[in-house]
Amino acid sequence: MSETILVPGGAGFLGSHLCDRLVAAGHEVIALDDFSSGERAHVAQLADARRFRLLRHDITQPLPREAVAATQIYNLACPASPPHYQARPVQTTLTSVLGLWHLLELSRQSGARVFQASTSEVYGDPQVHPQTEDYVGHVNPIGPRSCYDEGKRCGEAMCFAYHRQYAVPIRVARIFNSYGPRLRPGDGRVVSNFIVQALTGQALTVYGHGEQTRSFCYVDDTVEGLIRLMNGPSEGPLNIGNPVEHTVLELAERVVRLTGSRSAIECRPLPQDDPQRRRPDISRTEAVLGWRPKVSLEDGLRETIAHFRHELGVARTFAVA
């Protein structure tokens, strides 16, 4: 059945891939973005699509009148890369809380289902491994990452408050590191950082000794998980991520190999509150949604590297194993 779907953050990395899927499925999609981290180029392929509209809007402000038509709302409106959200901590917190409040109020009036894109950052620097949805986290509430971490934690709390008090239909996903084409050069995420550094001959900057771990989920798999959760039976929260764990140093070495780069790997001091281990337990997600990532890190990195080669105008100059 065709829906009218509102996607705040629709010109961002993850939001634009979601819009692609929703339009292809025959839905009417209204994307909102203030372009603080999103880009019109991310949805340029949808510019002539009859079922797609892109509106410049900051969801901390009252929503545009077009929003009232929505039957589903995917809230992806918040920068996810540390340099972006740490550069604008007040705006990040307001987007995560006040912006979501506007969406929940719209839902209370219209009955639209609200999907909240939460994050693995709600677990902080976890003391439980792997992280299950029952783990309440280990977060510094006043550290440099707190505008994002605590903003998302408050967002989850508000979603469930609206669900309990007003019966607002909600879905909450805790998204782990997602990567793929349309990541922005220099956005501070480890995959894009390493690929850009490797392709441009810079040293790959690894923090600490690179022993910290992450779990990388290719964007197509992530989007499939989000759609299944939105249309599934559970409010969540459910972990959406790849349960295969890699060290950051291993990722750097793999990027160097796949790009054919001669870049060195340099170690730098760890930033404050940087999580040491990050891996989702997705057993509950598998049981409820029948979802599990399909794209290997090797294949996903090849696609992402090809995207950055095109974006940066870097020719393939070395043989890649």
**CATH assignment of the domain containing 210:** 3.90.25.10
> How far is CA 56 from its chain centroid?
20
200 and 128 share one domain: no
**224 within some domain:** yes
Q: Could you give the 3-state DSSP secondary structure of residue 275?
A: coil
Q: How far apart are CA 132 and CA 29, in angstroms?
A: 32
pLDDT, mean of residues 66-70: 96
Residue 320 has pLDDT above 50, yes or no: no
Q: What is the pTM of this model?
A: 0.93
**284 within some domain:** no
CA atoms within 13 A on the CB side of 21: 18
**What proportion of the chain, given as a percentage, has pLDDT over 90?**
82
Q: How far is residue 237 from each of residues 100, 101, 145, measured CA to CA in Å?
A: 16, 18, 21
pLDDT of residue 321: 39
pLDDT, mean of residues 102-127: 96
pLDDT, mean of residues 37-43: 94
Per-residue confidence band for 210, with pLDDT thresholds at 50, 70 and 90: confident
Per-residue confidence band for 277, with pLDDT thresholds at 50, 70 and 90: confident
204 and 154 share one domain: no
Residue 232 belongs to domain spanning: 4-178+217-240
Q: Could you give the 3-state DSSP secondary structure of residue 112?
A: coil
**233 within some domain:** yes
Residue 141 has pLDDT above 80, yes or no: yes
pLDDT of residue 234: 97
* Ramachandran angles phi, psi of 179, nearest 5°: -150, 165
**86 within some domain:** yes
Active site residue 207: no
Q: How far apart are CA 214 and CA 167, in angstroms?
A: 36
Q: Could you give the 3-state DSSP secondary structure of residue 202?
A: coil
67 and 151 share one domain: yes
pLDDT of residue 82: 78
pLDDT of residue 317: 47
39 and 123 share one domain: yes
Lowest mean pLDDT of 36-45, 162-171, 265-274, name the range: 265-274
Residue 173 has pLDDT above 60, yes or no: yes
| Token pair belonging to 227 | 């759609």
Q: How far apart are CA 80 and CA 19, in angstroms?
A: 18
**205 within some domain:** yes
**CATH assignment of the domain containing 10:** 3.40.50.720
Q: How far is residue 20 from each of residues 11, 12, 45, measured CA to CA in Å?
A: 11, 12, 9
Rounded to the nearest integer, the mean pLDDT of the chain is 93
**321 within some domain:** no
148: nearest Cα among 103, 214, 92: 92
Per-residue confidence band for 273, with pLDDT thresholds at 50, 70 and 90: low
70 and 87 share one domain: yes
Q: What's the domain count of the chain?
A: 2
pLDDT of residue 315: 59
205 and 307 share one domain: yes
pLDDT of residue 1: 81
Burial annotation 23-61 (CB, 10 A radius, 16+ → b, else e) = beeebbbbbbbbebbbeeebbeebeeeebbebeebbbbe
Catalytic one among 148, 162, 179, 218? Answer: 148
